[in-house]
Amino acid sequence: MPTGRATFEVPAGLPLGWHSLTAESDGVTATAALAVVPASLQTAAGLEERRGWGLATQLYSVRSKRSWGIGDFADLADLASLAGARGADYVLVNPLHAADPVPPIQASPYSPSTRRFFNPLYIRVESIPELAYVKPRKRATVDRLLDHVHALNKDAERLDRDQIFAAKLAALELLHTVKLSPARQRAFEEFCRESGPGLDDFALWCAIREDRSPDDPSGRTRGHPRFAQGRVDAPGFGRPDRFPPLASVDLR
């Protein structure tokens, strides 16, 4: 197909945003995207009048007494509230995208498995409304999981992501057994609708990653129980030993 260059004028007064350009020549049609942007940002003038300040932090390191061994969204809310009360203009955080859902959990936030969905490590389990309705025995299990990882809040040397992810995943699976209220069910369905097929694709990929060991593509290692001999082995994708067992947590 012959190629070449063409010069043409774009109509003045196009609204801000994305547009499509279409060119036709000798029966050939080509399209291209056109972005119309403002000459300057409206925020620039305000920044010239007053110098803003804020905090830049790696969220996983922002731990509190209530954390599960790692900084989470509840800690971020507290940090933003404290900073805002002191006049801060912003709080910058590291990327919060989902990582590979199997151990060893990726330490770097700059190697996500997707940029569309969040990393469940940043969920504060107590912030989930269904925790209030979980059966007492299961609530006791959640409390024991929390007690186990609470000790990690005092370790300033490292973040044991594998232990933390195993504990949170076990707690989240227990909460998943609680029937959603009508309002929560509608909110969940709306989230699924807005996320579209990408959510189904990502969930399927996570299930396959959990279910099959990279060393066993045939799938012979599938179906290993996540709970065995009073330990939390999660996610069980065929190599449960790669998650350090929460040996001190009695799940019976």
Q: What is the pLDDT of residues 83-132, one digit of tens each?
A: 999 999 999 999 999 999 988 998 999 989 999 999 999 999 999 999 99
Residue 176 vs residue 151, higher pLDDT: 176
pLDDT at 237: 27
Domain definitions of the chain by residue range = 96-242
138-142: which pairs have CB atoms within 8 A and are 24 or more residues apart?
A: 138/174, 138/177, 141/170, 141/171, 141/174, 141/251, 142/171, 142/174, 142/175
Report in angstroms the alpha-carbon separations of 171 from 2, 68, 88, 135, 189: 61, 11, 35, 13, 22
Q: What is the pLDDT of residues 209-234, one digit of tens each?
A: 888 755 444 443 344 343 333 333 33
pLDDT at 231: 35
Let me know: does 76 contact 66? Beta carbons within 8 Å.
no
Q: What is the pLDDT of residues 132-149, one digit of tens each?
A: 999 999 999 999 999 999
Beta strand segments in 72-223, E: 90-93
Alpha carbon distance 145, 165 (integer Å): 11
pLDDT at 51: 82
- pTM above the 0.75 mark? no
